[in-house]
Structure 1
């Protein structure tokens, strides 16, 4: 993988200042996710927040420290209620410039077709039913690495002072 990063400019761009934000209210699940990401994406700096207020504060701080913009946000839909996840997604998508364009992956225990359809309608980039076992989380984050960091071209953060 390291040699690909050196020779492939897209991958180099995806991994440059690679930050990922996890918004998860369950501390055990949040830590499990963070540990799995650290194993599968060691090049990526991960921030873990547990509430809407912490998430918005983190993103607000990123506005003054542009190099800390996350390239991807993992958002638990039920924080602890579904309306909380919808509200955060809506607030992220309404943010100005590059911040509102950050891909958001919704994670949920729910496999309800209603939740899935509404998630895409509200602008999420992907919807994933949460795995239950640590081995499944590792497989999930390896797939996430392959898709979001090694396959797609992530948007370059364009900073504007105006």
Structure 2
């Protein structure tokens, strides 16, 4: 499925993904409208469910707030593709079920407003007839993302375990 791209630059930190004044909010539906408000107050209003963020180096740097990937997911972002991620953001995104893909070649050429198709299992992005290979997510990580995050994944595994 083709998804619309929102292109961002390097070093997008968690303080601009979700400004600190919203950290007392726990309902994801209330966090989504404030997504990337630190860069562009109108950003969340332009998102259609299933859109992509494509960014440069070190996406999600800064403080280790789990609220940042929650806000992205609640806003309607399907996945974040970047040249690289801050380690804690990458792990937090997986833990809450937000797909992330390291794909430097695509991040370098992606254009804001263009469309692309993402195959997380294969680690590929297809855009304009070109296929870009990134780092595929291991099967267990894919299962966590598919379950909606680490907590639903663990609950499902516990429920399926023999008594």
User: Is TM-score (shorter-chain normalized) higher than 0.5?
Assistant: no
Which TM-score applies when normalising by structure 2? Answer: 0.36
Which TM-score applies when normalising by structure 1? Answer: 0.36
Ranked by relative contact order (alpha carbons within 8 Å, sequence separation 6 or more), the top structure is 1
Structure having the larger proportion of residues in strand: 2
